[in-house]
């Protein structure tokens, strides 16, 4: 016989999962108290890396039903939610989301819904990338320096390049200027790039 589980998550300790539990019961799902998994963890943590969700995965068996109030309870973004639902479906677990009308996300209609959500998320990500690249091009065209400001002045960089050409080690220069070895390497790399462009 299919068992019904509830997964309820909040992000901070001053929030409570009580509303989610009540919402699931009001939707007609009878969930035994020991099958209601609640946890406080940031939504930015992937579902499979959460302690409570990991315990839930150990309990679930083929034929079981998992109920959540909203998709964001399951994952940090559409791709994470999709991979979580696919992992549950592979175990034979049906996933119901109340915010989507209680649809079973592992059914044909649920898969279509997940496909639309994933497509929208990808579209939003692509738009963000386009806007970012457009902004960078505009900033570059107007002469703005891009990236973090260098911790080393132009004069310091010239001295570092000179000392490196004389064989002074990366570690010694990093210690002298209070920066990382990688910062010294970037100074050298910028010199090579400048020479190549001349």
Let me know if 142 is a catalytic residue: no
**C-alpha angle with apex 37: 36 to 41, nearest 5 degrees?**
145
**Element spanning 155, H or E:** helix 154-165
> How far is Cα 116 from Cα 119, in angstroms, rounded to an integer?
5
Q: Which residues contact 16 (CB under 8 A, 6 or more apart)?
A: 10
Look up residue 124 and give its two tokens: 């939003």
Cα–Cα distance for residue pair 121/126, rounded to 1 Å = 9
- Which residue in 11, 134, 165, 169 is the catalytic one? 11
User: Which residues are catalytically annotated?
Assistant: 11
């Amino acid at each position: 016989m299919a068992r019904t589980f509830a997964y309820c998550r909040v992000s901070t300790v001053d929030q409570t999962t009580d509303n989610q539990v009540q919402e699931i019961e009001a939707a007609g799902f009878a969930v035994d108290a020991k099958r209601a998994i609640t946890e406080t963890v940031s939504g930015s943590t992937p579902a499979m890396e959460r302690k409570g969700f990991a315990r839930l995965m150990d309990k679930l068996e083929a034929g079981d039903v998992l109920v959540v109030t909203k998709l964001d309870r399951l994952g940090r973004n559409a791709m994470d939610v999709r991979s979580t639902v696919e992992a549950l479906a592979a175990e034979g677990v049906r996933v119901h989301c109340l915010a989507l009308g209680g649809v079973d996300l592992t059914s044909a209609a649920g898969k279509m819904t997940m496909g639309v959500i994933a497509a929208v998320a990808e579209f939003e990500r692509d738009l963000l990338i386009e806007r970012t690249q457009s902004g960078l091009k505009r900033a570059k065209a107007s002469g703005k320096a891009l990236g973090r400001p260098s911790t080393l002045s132009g004069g310091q960089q010239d001295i570092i390049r000179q000392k490196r050409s004389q064989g002074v080690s990366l570690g010694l220069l990093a210690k002298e200027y209070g920066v990382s070895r990688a910062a010294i390497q970037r100074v050298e790399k910028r010199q090579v790039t400048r020479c190549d462009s001349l």
